[in-house]
Structure 1
Amino acid sequence: MSRLNVPPSEDVPAGAQRILENVGAQLGFVPNMFKTIASNPAVLEVVTTLQSTLSRVLDAKTRHSIALAVSQANGCSYCLAMHTYVATEFGGMSGDDIELVRVGSSVDPKRAAAARFAQQVVDSRGRVSDAELAGVRGAGYTDPQILAIIAVAVQFLLTNFINNVNQTDLDILAVGSVDTAVAQ
């Protein structure tokens, strides 16, 4: 059960209500995470503006891969379910690829490097090794793209933390665990 209150729709300020309507139009429903965040319109605006801005820094499949890799690293079941849904329905990712990126791999070697690096950033709290940085560069990422990977990872850290603190009620199908030996 969610631990933070979801405001009744009549108590959501008009500006936040417009944001929720936009989210609903994009996804076909308003996820519980956004309903909860609407209790603080400034935070709702920050989250949705960050998502909108960072949607332009890397291709969609790479962003979905980072979202899933970071959510797996943080054990955010709500985010794993939501990002699996979005990656499948809107991102055209296969179930096999989704399982792979959750453990820092992918059917695409370049996306695998981005997912793995994002997990390394999370696991090390940003203190990646020279070898890890060389690995993502070796996959073909430039320094501006590496900055984008970090920024996208941080975006998902924010929503992972919100949902982990809240224990947000799932409003989408849950996903199962993955075999972490797959990435080895």
Structure 2
Amino acid sequence: MSRLTTPSLDEVPAGARQTLDKLGKQLGFVPNMFKTIASNPTVLEAVTTLQGTMSRVLDARTRHSIALAVSQSNGCDYCLAIHTYTSSEYGGMSSDDIDLARAGSSVDPKRAAAARFAQQVVDSRGQVSDGDLAAVRDAGYADPEILAIVTVAVQALLTNFINNVNQTDIDIPAATAAR
């Protein structure tokens, strides 16, 4: 059971309600995580703005792979559920791709390097080795892309922490087979 207050949709402030309505249209439902965050409209704005901004870096499958790898490292069941759902439903990732991403890997070597590096960033609290940096560079990532990998990892880490603190009730529809 969630440990923080999750207001009903009727109880959230007007500005937050607009954001939740937009999310509901995008996803087909309003996830419990966003309902909970909506109790603080400033935090909701920060999270959704960061997510929107980061949707413009890297490709979608790489972002999904990073989110899955980081959520696995942090043991965030809620984030694993939502990222599995969105990776399958909107990212076109197969269940095998999703499983590999959770392990910090991929059938695509470049994407695998990004997922692995993101896990190393999280697991080492940013204290990655020269070898870790060399490996992600050797996979084809330049420094601006490495900054994007770190930021996508931190974005996932933010929601992992919120959901782990809250123990957010999982309300994610079961993902269907990837198209």
Does TM-score exceed 0.5, indicating one fold?
yes
- Alpha-carbon RMSD across the aligned residues, in angstroms, is 1.1
**2:110 corresponds to 1:107:** no
1:33 paired residue number: 33
Deviation for aligned residue 1:174: 7.5
In 1, Cα distance between equivalents of 2:17 and 2:25: 12
1:170 paired residue number: 170
**2:54 corresponds to 1:54:** yes
Deviation for aligned residue 1:9: 2.0
In 2, Cα distance between equivalents of 1:174 and 1:73: 22
- CA distances 1:72-99 after superposition (whole Å, capped 9, x unpaired): 0000000001000000000000100100
Amino acid at match of 1:143: D
2:74 paired residue number: 74
Amino acid at match of 1:147: L
**2:107 corresponds to 1:98:** no
Does the aligned pair in 2 maintain the 1:7–1:36 contact within 8 Å? yes
- Give ranges in structure 2 of 5+ residues lacking alignment: none
The SS at the match of 1:106 is coil
The SS at the match of 2:70 is helix
1:157 paired residue number: 157
In 1, Cα distance between equivalents of 2:11 and 2:104: 41
- CA distances 1:75-130 after superposition (whole Å, capped 9, x unpaired): 00000010000000000001001000101110110000000000000000000000
Deviation for aligned residue 1:11: 1.9
Deviation for aligned residue 1:7: 1.1
Amino acid at match of 1:125: R
1:10 paired residue number: 10
In 2, Cα distance between equivalents of 1:47 and 1:76: 17
In 2, Cα distance between equivalents of 1:97 and 1:155: 21
Amino acid at match of 2:34: F
- Give ranges in structure 1 of 5+ residues lacking alignment: 176-184
In 2, Cα distance between equivalents of 1:24 and 1:70: 25
Does the aligned pair in 1 maintain the 2:110–2:140 contact within 8 Å? yes
1:180 paired residue number: none
- CA distances 1:33-80 after superposition (whole Å, capped 9, x unpaired): 000000000000000000000000111000000000000000000000
Does the aligned pair in 2 maintain the 1:78–1:174 contact within 8 Å? no
1:119 paired residue number: 119
In 1, Cα distance between equivalents of 2:158 and 2:138: 28
Amino acid at match of 2:43: V
In 2, Cα distance between equivalents of 1:118 and 1:89: 23
Does the aligned pair in 1 maintain the 2:105–2:112 contact within 8 Å? yes
In 2, Cα distance between equivalents of 1:52 and 1:173: 22
